[in-house]
Structures are given as structure tokens and as C-alpha cells.
Amino acid sequence: MERVRSGILRNRTIQEQVLAVGKYKKTVAARSLICFWATSELGMSQSELGQKLKISQPAVTLAVKRGEQLVIRHNYSLKA
């Protein structure tokens, strides 16, 4: 998570989108990608993610599924 988080913190706009309250399309997409990568690449628990992002664990579960779909659909990758 620290690797993902450090990348986010460098870009204030992304940070604001991920932590924003609401269901705006860009916010949901950004949060979904973070949740997917944090669980699949970094092994973070969904409850820990929920606490850090201030969303419920069931919301994290849905975000992980959406994030996985986004990664597949758009061929996103964490690798440079």
C-alpha cells in the first residue's frame, strides 16, 4: 500500500479523488483501482482498506470487483 499511496500522494488531484466523499465517476474509478491493486498486489485486507479510505468493508469488496474489471477492460498496470 505504501508504494501505491506514495504515488497517490505525489498527485494532489488523484489523492482528492480517491478520498472524496460521493459516487462521482472518477472518484469511484480511482478508489476501485486502489482497492483492487492494494488487495491483489500488496495483500492488504479489505477491512484495513475500508478504514484508510473511510468506506465500509462491503463497499471495498464492490470496489475491488470494479477495479479488476477496469484493469482488464483498459489493460491498466502498476508496472512502468
| Tens digit of each residue's pLDDT (9 = 90 or more) over 21-79 | 777 788 889 899 999 999 999 899 999 999 988 899 999 999 999 999 999 999 988 87
Q: In this structure, are residues 15 and 27 in contact, taking their beta carbons and an 8 Å threshold?
A: no
15-20: which pairs have CB atoms within 8 A and are 24 or more residues apart?
18/53, 19/53, 19/54
| 8-state DSSP, 41 | T
- pLDDT-derived band at 4 (thresholds 50, 70, 90) equals low
Q: Where are the domains of the chain?
A: 2-74
Coil, strand or helix: which one is 5?
helix
Whole-angstrom Cα Rg for the chain: 11
Higher-confidence position of 28 and 6: 28
